[in-house]
Amino acid sequence: MKFSSFGEKYTGRSGIVDLMADLGEALHTRPDMISMGGGNPARIAAVEKIYKEHLVQLLEAPDGAYEILGKYQSPQGDERLLKQLAALLRDEYGWPVTDRNVAISNGGQSAFYVLSNLLAGRFSDGTHRQIQFPLVPEYLGYADAGLEADFFTATKPAIDILDDHIFKYRVDFDNLVVPDTTAAFCVSRPTNPTGNVLTDAEISQLDKIAVANDIPLIIDGAYGTPFPNIIFNEVSPYWSENTILLLSLSKLGLPGVRTGFIVASEALIQAYATANTILNLACGNVGPAIAGRLFENREVLTISSKMIMPYYRDRALKTMELFIEALGDIPCYVHKPEGAIFLWLWFQQLPVTSARLYEILKAAGVLIIPGHDSFAGLENDWAHAHECIRVSYAQDDAQVRKGVEIIAREVRKLYEKA
């Protein structure tokens, strides 16, 4: 069978597809495998109970099943929900938004695919524009989103060593160059995979640079504010007319409903709604139905700040301490855990690549994510990219503790042999 250029691209090699397929196969063939590689959120019993109660009440309401299962949404999404979210953002943060500034998506991945290809790629005048990551590493799922080749550019981060075991990436503004071909900045906040949280000053400066270059700033808030608010630092939510903010229900504990939100200028929202209708016809109803109940009385903010964020903050600190103790004198730094649901480990002068370490750890019974696919857009290969791994701490305590022990044991063997 012969495929088009689109078909060749999306049936070819992809870091995220390879990893997801490999993770699924490994878990199928080895049920005892410790999965510390995926992005699935933790099971928080009290939060699950709330969602179940809402879902039952929705289905038991008059015409409830029909409203959820028997209707299409409008192109921009359920109008009542759009008004609810806009009101929440106005009331809580003072953002000058209405329902015309908000759209519903089939999850953050789908939203980024549509938006990035609206803004970048090949233009009718023959020019080619790119999405720029001002800070890498970034989410590996971005890497294959572009329809065109050479879709991303990136700037290496500055690295601050905070103590004997902890480091932090920050935007290297001194070396941040914005070519004429740049279509948009894109950052995730908190950052997947590192757990980094860009400061208020970094976000403000990036937006000023973006405005000066007449490009938007995309902020992927899948783990951020206002929900699920998995941020451990004191930072302010951010939006401006030049900002495209992506939000999601996934890390609230609802990845299966595939529901996200876009907050942007009216013109961009209209363009997105048109394109998304052509590509997806409509968004699903289950996620928006649950979200409507969570937004109505602002319960989503309470769940995020009082139940979800403290759960992950405590686990992040505990898991970091486990790693520091288990790794001992191994030359390893952990990125300062500021948010999200991962730890990012940097093994200095790792005797093998992170891709090879992934295979070694999988054979030993632990799944992690190698770091090299998270540096999309860098022009030159960087040794640092092959010395890092992403580890999830969303599993139960016993699994995490055992996984940490196995990772430390196998990495120690590599350094001893080197």
Domains of the chain with CATH codes: 5-46+303-417 (3.90.1150.10), 72-301 (3.40.640.10)
Give the model's confidence band at 7: pLDDT under 50 very low, under 70 low, under 90 confident, else very high: confident
Instruction: Classify 346 in phi/psi space as left (phi over 0), alpha (psi -120 to 50) or beta.
Output: beta
* Residue carrying structure tokens 């995490």: 400
Output the six-digit token pair for 269. 């929202």
Q: Is the pLDDT confidence value at 23 over 70? A: no
Confidence of residue 2 (pLDDT cuts 50, 70, 90): confident
Residue 412: the pLDDT is 98
Residue 17: pLDDT over 90:
no
Query: Rounded CA gap, 226 and 236, in Å?
Result: 10
Q: Is the pLDDT of residue 342 over 80?
A: yes
Torsion from C-alpha of 340, 346, 350, 354, nearest 10 degrees: 20
Ramachandran angles phi, psi of 191, nearest 5°: -85, 125
CB 257 within 8 A of CB 225: no
- Residue 8, pLDDT score: 79
Model confidence at 22, pLDDT cuts 50, 70, 90, reads low
pTM above 0.85, yes or no: yes
Query: Tens digits of per-residue pLDDT, 113-140?
Result: 999 999 999 999 999 999 999 999 999 9
Question: Whose CA is closest to 390, among 155, 137, 113, 215?
Answer: 137
Mean pLDDT of the chain: 94
pLDDT band at 278 (very low <50, low <70, confident <90, very high): very high
| Dist. CA 320–CA 217, nearest whole Å | 32
